[in-house]
Structure 1
């Protein structure tokens, strides 16, 4: 039978239970490049999270997503393609060898990430190409799995069997692997229902938590943080440094990261975070003219990650901002455009200046560069700045502290009384100006906070046309100086006096 259509919200299915993701069993999808692993991943999860493109090597880092079938919940792990023979798949292969890679070592890094995904999985789905038929690499991968992980349940899925009539014939070639082949089509969904029925029988029940929290209230949701920036500024290195393991491939080759990968972890202080590592975003013209057709999809995933998060860690290359600039901090144009994107989406922000260990500096350099940076990065002039080095770990923990503060301010509400005290003081120092040729002067009756995430304030005034953007910026500055909101955007909306209603002043 075919897999039914599953409703999704923001590309992620609502969970059946409140079981934490780390306690659910994991299923790793593994196989050669371009056999349809990402398409199968998307089919199982009911989303289009993984990038699908018709050439090998698109998937590189491990992708995780919660999925369910019937009453069984589990986590699916999408992996990169295993490109070569069993000699390239020793039992010692792990993610610890992927730091500092060049172009020639990138295939080994992809395979290391795939091997790490198999290592932590409770069941493995070996995916092969039914249209291409049996090839030696399929046998090599199956032999490696049996030799290295003899106790892991293994399922053989023959993908690209669109025809139910010829699918059985296409799958028959793979009986020589010693596993029962299951013909499916990840694109059309044919055969995937029977596959899922068999798969859930292989999975163990969810793990039990180590200890009960003892709190009656539901655990707080993790802070979603998107790591954003241009290519090769050190986003993946920063992710690895934050979580303390080689979660993402680090390479000197720009554009190594393709998908937006989610990583949940708990900091030493107990804070819960969900880090969204994203592909580097180049300017639109460069992406449009790129021969890499998957780059545009990677950029779309990165922008979608910004919309899914609460706080954006905008990563800048400190060396490039200063190099050959006469010892001035010059923000590249693309970084400015990314700052505009974050501000337009209304997300909290932390500016991370990476590679700070490679910058020549003295005791005053950091303060001077921070002042220049915020002056140039005007859309995020309210964001805290952290100078760090992902490779050495210098001040990496400061990023988490800044993110927690930004998330707290992003969710924050203040009382109407406090807001109107700030308004009264602001108006006393600088009354709303009268427009040229207009004898009327703007008047603010009162204000209230209409929402959070981001904090949104409504000012009830006599006439909206009497308040220009300059005065709105002044009110925002006064709110920040007197009420906080560091790291969070503020939205101020003016509403005119309803006809026939009495006036209410903020001083009443």
Structure 2
């Protein structure tokens, strides 16, 4: 059994995500004064005193389409093609799997019909689950206690005045919540004396509508993220813990589609700017980035920019995932031909792993995890100084270092400074003598003789009192 889950539920725009961030001590959930920003379930580990649990943020609950006044049903998952029903289905799933619930209401607005409907639905369908009623937006020191009075009429639960902005009342609320949680056996998390390996963090990134959320759902075996033909469906970054057939553990991070910076700025959609910011932060958290490319459209300039950000800026290992391979005319393209074309367009990243999948049918999706494991292995690879110097010495024999102004470049020795990504320091007489073409030659020599598929390689050039970097 894992950590107990606590689902935060309520109608739209009552401050669920703001309270989620406050209680988890993070800024993971996007907070914006607009209904419908939160769509998928978001899970973050939280602590209070000696209690540890998984906090789950959800989208706002409203009446389902075509059934006014009805409460959401988990049987509706996948049954609606429009976004509101999908959001509510995700929230309903979170409620079903939770050990305890936090229902958030708006103290400034007061009790609404929607609040009453949601409360009755919870009591009717999940009467066995402990419920904490958080009356949010009670920042006022004079009116805070008055704002909760309306909510006593719900009956059977004590309304608690809280403020997600100031933190007022959240301590008492957490005390009450933790008293309802089941005890966690330490053996459930790890066996005595045994260290638990950290999951491999893998960020799934790409342009909008390339199939990132569909890929996450296939890999997790669950309707973990909303899938829609509408561009911009995913807003928050969604973490999912997955274990493959070989026992390897992953934290898969689904992200919002990233359009060109100029397009985002021109759109003036503030939530999209926040979503893109979260997606870029996900790369920073990850060790491996899976860049999803639409097989029909092929790699674009934006794909190149994202690969550059992942590998060169953040230093992540890189897997190129060509999705929608099932719709490609195989008479026109084979995998080998497509790979050649792909690498020619993304030639700077010719070392990246390439996998071909169909997130719609599930075809070959497990190869994504296998490629991520292999890329991570090389990303963490460490070599002895003797091995490195043997490779470099042979490379200099095949192609001598360049000369300039009567001075010839000399490489004294090479050592590995760090991993993730593998970083090597070339000690030489003068870094300025080693032109870019020769530096690229040295990187090719390392890759051809040692490997490093799927990971960037950084090389630093240092001389006597002078340093340079590639």
TM class, shorter-length: over 0.9
Secondary structure of 1:240 counterpart: helix
Residue number among 2, 8, 15 corresponding to 1:29 in the alignment? 8
- Residue 55 of structure 1 corresponds to 34
CA contact (8 A) 1:24 1:205 kept: no
Q: Distance in 1 between matches of 2:387 and 2:118?
A: 65
Q: Distance in 1 between matches of 2:173 and 2:347?
A: 53
Deviations 1:355-413 (A, max 9, x none): 00011113962101101111111332210111110011111111111000001111110
Aligned residues: 461
Normalized against structure 2, the TM-score is what?
0.95
- Residue 391 of structure 2 corresponds to 422
Deviations 1:282-339 (A, max 9, x none): 0111111224220000000000000000000000011122xxxxxxxxx211111111
- Residue 78 of structure 1 corresponds to 57
Deviations 1:22-70 (A, max 9, x none): 7211110000000000000000011111000000000000111111111
- What are the equivalent positions in structure 2 for 1:85-124 lying under 5 Å apart? 87-93=69-75, 95=77, 97=78, 102=81, 105-124=82-101
Secondary structure of 2:267 counterpart: coil
- What are the equivalent positions in structure 2 for 1:417-456 lying under 5 Å apart? 417-435=386-404, 438-456=405-423
CA contact (8 A) 2:2 2:189 kept: no
Change (3 A) 1:131 1:364: closer
- Residue 203 of structure 1 corresponds to 181
- Residue 328 of structure 2 corresponds to 359
RMSD: 1.8
Q: Distance in 2 between matches of 1:479 and 1:94?
A: 54
Secondary structure of 1:29 counterpart: strand
Residue number among 229, 254, 258 corresponding to 1:252 in the alignment? 229
Change (3 A) 1:213 1:425: farther
Secondary structure of 1:202 counterpart: coil
Secondary structure of 1:164 counterpart: coil
CA contact (8 A) 2:2 2:188 kept: no
Q: Distance in 2 between matches of 1:92 and 1:234?
A: 24
Structure 2 gaps of 5+ residues are none
Q: Distance in 2 between matches of 1:211 and 1:263?
A: 17
CA contact (8 A) 2:63 2:72 kept: no
CA contact (8 A) 1:32 1:137 kept: yes
Residue number among 119, 126, 140 corresponding to 1:142 in the alignment? 119
- What are the equivalent positions in structure 2 for 1:349-388 lying under 5 Å apart? 349-362=318-331, 365-388=334-357
Q: Distance in 1 between matches of 2:362 and 2:112?
A: 44
Secondary structure of 1:336 counterpart: helix
- Residue 188 of structure 1 corresponds to 166
Secondary structure of 2:36 counterpart: coil
- Residue 379 of structure 2 corresponds to 410
CA contact (8 A) 2:72 2:89 kept: no
CA contact (8 A) 2:204 2:289 kept: yes
Q: Distance in 2 between matches of 1:207 and 1:234?
A: 38
**Which moves more between the two structures, 291-300 or 216-225?**
216-225
Q: How big is the shift at 1:143?
A: 0.6
Q: How big is the shift at 1:250?
A: 0.3
- Residue 434 of structure 2 corresponds to 467
Q: How big is the shift at 1:220?
A: 1.4
Structure 2 residue 212 is the aligned partner of structure 1 residue 235: yes
Secondary structure of 1:319 counterpart: coil
Structure 1 gaps of 5+ residues are 1-21, 322-330, 500-508
**Which moves more between the two structures, 177-186 or 298-307?**
177-186
**Which moves more between the two structures, 280-289 or 304-313?**
280-289
Q: Distance in 2 between matches of 1:236 and 1:169?
A: 44
Structure 2 residue 31 is the aligned partner of structure 1 residue 64: no
Q: Distance in 2 between matches of 1:58 and 1:379?
A: 37
Secondary structure of 1:320 counterpart: coil
- Residue 334 of structure 1 corresponds to 302
Q: Distance in 2 between matches of 1:32 and 1:68?
A: 25
Normalized against structure 1, the TM-score is what?
0.88
Q: Distance in 1 between matches of 2:98 and 2:271?
A: 28
Q: Distance in 2 between matches of 1:371 and 1:207?
A: 52
Change (3 A) 1:169 1:70: same
Q: Distance in 1 between matches of 2:175 and 2:320?
A: 47
